[in-house]
Amino acid sequence: MKRFQQLAASLGLCSTLGIASAGYGGTITVKGSDTLVILAQKWAEVYMREHSATKIQVTGGGSGIGFAALQNNTTDIADASRPIKSAERVACIKSFGKDPREYKVALDGLSIYVHSSNPLNEASIDQLEQIFTGKLTNWKDLGGPDSPITVYSRENSSGTYEFFKEHILKGKDFVSSAQTMPGTAALLQAVSNDPKGIGYGGAAYGHGAKVLKVKKTSDSPAVEPTEENVLSGKYPIWRYLFNYLNPAKDKDEIAAYLKWIRSDEGQKIVKDVGYYPLPEKLRAK
């Protein structure tokens, strides 16, 4: 009887191994943006629970790190919170002879944070540009109390920094006196302790400070960064989050995984983590 059990067990083991090896042999590696890392880990966790034969390994480091790894072929998928730069595209083409394939995987609305005691409720993109480039230095210019503005920014290695610089500052430099924080959480902590502070960060972190409504121009309505407003494009500061990969690898397990991420099921997780899911038309069917 015992022998029979052993035989059955080993047969079962063999057949499981057989199925596993018939599918994808290795591990899917995902590397890149720190903004995306929480989401990517959650995706991997849920996906691996449902597909036990697949192993997914997620690491952060930054969008640039992800692209470097993609070009050196040390990762299968590169996470990015900004579109690929032309220099990085050229490097990838030189490395594997193909333009890397881009998938939009989620949406992120950048929030503007001020201290909870700040009487200000809204700001226009123009005003934000002037604050963060150092043209406006006192809260009274915005209708607040007479006290200087302390600008909090992110480190220049951050994809969020580059996005903000490009879209709000229109490529201009941040004011030199801007304090740079090593992460959105640190920035939020600093702003929530500084009555004179203002900062910006991803949507998934919005607790502890007041979130400003943003106006596209000085006479358009002020919009709150809610899911509805970000998805409809009413809220003016938002961005896509991307996955990049070598098109030659976009098959089997990796293709299935990417398709799952962009399916309704994967997009449900986006919402749980605190980012915004893709609109219907961009999802995988």
Partner 1 sequence: MLTEPRTTRTIGWMGLHRGHHAKPLEWLAEKLIFAVSLVAILMVFLIFVFIGREALPVMIGHERSLPVQNGVAASPDTMTPEQLQAYLGLTREEFARMDRETLKTLIELKKETPVSSDKDAALDTTGWRYLLSPYKWSGYAKPEYIWQPVSEVPKYNLVPLIIGSLKVTLIALLFAVPVALGASIYVSQLASSRLREIIKPVVELLAGIPSVVLGFFGLMVMATALNAFFNYCELHDWAAWCVPAHRSRLNALVAGLALAFTVIPLVFSIAEDALTSVPRTYVQAALALGASKWKAATQVVLPAALPGVFAAVALGFGRAVGETMIVLMCSGNASITSSSILDSARTITATIAAELGEVVFGSPHYHILFLIGVLLFTVTFLTNFAADIIMHRLKFKLEGKT
| Residue ranges in 207-266 that form contacts with partner 1 under rule CB under 8 A | none
Are the C-beta atoms of residues 30 and 65 closer than 8 Å to each other? no
Stretch in the footprint of partner 1 (CB under 8 A) among 80-88, 206-214, 225-233, 253-261? 80-88
Q: How far is the CB of 192 from partner 1 (least distance, A)?
A: 11
> Which CB atom, from 66 or from 266, has the smaller least distance to partner 1?
66
Report helix angle 34-50 to 264-273, nearest 10: 130
Report helix angle 34-50 to 252-261, nearest 10: 110
> Which CB atom, from 214 or from 241, has the smaller least distance to partner 1?
241
If you compute the radius of gyration of the chain from its CA atoms, what whole number of angstroms results?
23
Are the C-beta atoms of residues 206 and 111 closer than 8 Å to each other? yes
DSSP 67-129: HHHHHTT--SEEEESSPPPHHHHHHHHHHHSSPPEEEEEEEEEPEEEE-TT----EEEHHHHH
Asked if residue 178 binds partner 1 (CB under 8 A), the reply is yes
Residue 41: closest CA among 53, 54, 31: 31
Q: How far is the CB of 200 from partner 1 (least distance, A)?
A: 16
Q: Which of 13, 25, 98, 264 binds partner 1 (CB under 8 A)?
A: 98
List of long-range contacts for 1-4, beta carbons under 8 Å, 24+ apart = none
Asked if residue 165 binds partner 1 (CB under 8 A), the reply is yes
Asked if residue 279 binds partner 1 (CB under 8 A), the reply is no
By CB under 8 A, the count of residues binding partner 1 is 43
> Which CB atom, from 180 or from 226, has the smaller least distance to partner 1?
180
Q: How far is the CB of 243 from partner 1 (least distance, A)?
A: 18
Residue ranges binding partner 1 (CB under 8 A): 61-65, 68, 86-90, 93-94, 96-99, 148, 150, 155-158, 161-162, 165, 171-174, 176-182, 186, 189-190, 193-194, 197
